[in-house]
Amino acid sequence: MKKCLVLGGGFAGLTSAVYLSKAGYKIELIEASPKLGGRAYSFKDTETNTIIDNGQHILMGCYKETLNFLKLINATANLEFQKHLKVNFVKEDFRLYPLEAKGIFYPLNLALGILSYNALYVSERLRLILLFLKLPLIPSKDLKNLTVYEWLEGEKQAENIRKAFWEILCVGALNTSIKKASAVTFVDILKKIFLRGSRSATIVLPAKGLSETYCINAQKFIEQNNGIVSFSEKVDSLLFDSDKLVKIKTSKRIIEEFDFVISALPLSAFEKVVNDIRVFTDLNLTYSSILTLHIWLKENRLNRNFYGLINSRIHWVFNHISHITLVISDANDLMELSKEELIEIAGNELSKFMNIPRDEIISYKIIKEKRATFIPLNNILGQRPPSVTKFSNFYLAGDWIETGLPSTIESAVKSGRIAADLISSK
């Protein structure tokens, strides 16, 4: 039985390890921390005795790679699936504007949903639908070097359409502003969400904490297939000869017995352990932060599972009944603020948009993810490395390698599956 080492226990590493375990390989997954999940995990808040996520993560129906992976590890029961797309958007004074794909055949259901979206004037809704009708015919070459903002300007998408629809969608999907994000990347994502059937545009939410949603199942799958998961073991260095990776030094040992290795480390960690320019040349990524605020209220009166806020510094509010979770994407400008300053911002926005007074907040937990995702700038298109390297037994996985997707869970899972397939095909 051939042995494969997987370095890193986030979505990419777990996916690689699960698929190779299924294919009959002897797997050892090595994780630097005492937990699995990478940037998507859960833990118990000791003050409130509540399981919370390190950041709210959502999936979509178009996340085929992720949903296939979760099905393989028997984790789909841990998810809540929408029957059809429905997002409750909110303006000030808790004015609700549902965007809902009506229960008729695709794509008419999406069109009728947009026509009923009262956050826009009728003329704006028609302008939005016209752009969606044009979407399948837009070639990537026409968007080269354009930002999302420049593309929308050229398509006559007025400011109110941008604020009440495009900006929320772009920040949610790409974690950056429309003035930075590549139009090529954004349009590719739009085609995957809206042009592949009604199910692709639906929202999928974890029904449990993230670790309980998939990490436990993935570890169980690996171990039931005679694999090993090693925790709290940091990779220090990788040693290559002319055409192979020959030695791995960790904080606990030196490993020389393996047939294949997949590095599913984040780029920042990977660059610290690999100095060999034969692996790939420098990849200069610019990162965007996500700020998550878990808030406990005296009384939670919200009755929907999530809300999108229009023209607010807070982008999303998720309702967990026991508490609510606020998400601020593209949050680099907030990372150095104190906890008191951040909860003041959150309290003001909750009061203004959700009619929740500041004195209703009884407890909170703030989580800063400074390198949550990389920004899909035009200058990195085509610069991300493939899974294959110049070394016959060494492969890359992670949301930062070339998957054709932005820095998402789906990209990480796809990269892990690609790496596993490349090894299985040998």
- Report the pLDDT averaged over residues 243-247: 96
Indicate whether 343 pLDDT > 90.
yes
- Percent of the chain exceeding pLDDT 70 equals 100
Indicate whether 277 pLDDT > 90.
no
- Report the pLDDT averaged over residues 117-145: 95
Chain mean pLDDT for the chain: 96
Indicate whether 385 pLDDT > 90.
yes
Pairing of strands 228-230, 86-91: unpaired
**Predicted pLDDT of residue 103:** 76
Give the residue extent of every domain in the chain. Answer: 3-43+62-70+210-283+384-424, 106-196, 287-374
CATH number for the 287-374 domain, one of 3.90.660.10, 3.90.1300.10, 3.40.50.150, 3.30.420.40?
3.90.660.10
**Predicted pLDDT of residue 335:** 97
Question: What band does 426 get if pLDDT is binned at 50, 70 and 90?
Answer: confident
Where in 231-360 does DSSP place strands (E)? 235-240, 245-250, 254-255, 260-263, 287-297, 306-309, 316-319, 324-328
**Predicted pLDDT of residue 283:** 84
- Report the pLDDT averaged over residues 246-258: 98
How buried is residue 216: exposed, middle or buried, by Cβ count under 10 Å (0-12/13-18/19+)? Answer: middle
The DSSP-derived string for 56-87 is ---EETT-HHHHHHHHHTT-GGGEEE-SS-EE
Which amino acid does the sequence have at 378? N
Question: Between residues 275 and 317, which one has the greater pLDDT?
Answer: 317
Question: What band does 329 get if pLDDT is binned at 50, 70 and 90?
Answer: very high
Indicate whether 280 pLDDT > 80.
no
Indicate whether 260 pLDDT > 80.
yes
Reading the block at residue 199, the tokens are: 């199910």
pTM listed for this prediction: 0.96
DSSP 12: H
Reading the block at residue 264, the tokens are: 């599913």
DSSP 164: I
**Predicted pLDDT of residue 282:** 74
Report phi then psi at 237, rounded to 5.
Answer: -160, 155
Indicate whether 342 pLDDT > 80.
yes
The span from the CA of 273 to the CA of 271, in Å, is 6
Indicate whether 379 pLDDT > 70.
yes
Closest alpha carbon to 176 in 40, 341, 314, 290: 290
| Window from 65-74, 144-153, 245-254, 378-387 with minimum mean pLDDT | 378-387
Question: What band does 382 get if pLDDT is binned at 50, 70 and 90?
Answer: confident
Q: Describe the crossing of helices 11-22 and 64-72 by its angle, rounded to 10 degrees.
A: 60
How buried is residue 375: exposed, middle or buried, by Cβ count under 10 Å (0-12/13-18/19+)? Answer: buried
**Predicted pLDDT of residue 238:** 95
| Span 149-190, pLDDT tens digits | 999 999 999 999 999 999 999 999 999 999 999 999 999 999
Indicate whether 420 pLDDT > 70.
yes
CATH number for the 3-43+62-70+210-283+384-424 domain, one of 3.40.190.10, 3.40.50.300, 3.50.50.60, 3.40.605.10?
3.50.50.60
| Span 48-77, pLDDT tens digits | 999 999 999 999 999 999 999 999 999 999
For residue 242, how many other CB atoms are within 10 A of its CB? 8
**Predicted pLDDT of residue 353:** 98
**Predicted pLDDT of residue 278:** 77
For residue 310, how many other CB atoms are within 10 A of its CB? 20
| Span 3-46, pLDDT tens digits | 999 999 999 999 999 999 999 999 999 999 999 999 999 999 99
**Predicted pLDDT of residue 281:** 65
Pairing of strands 394-396, 260-263: parallel
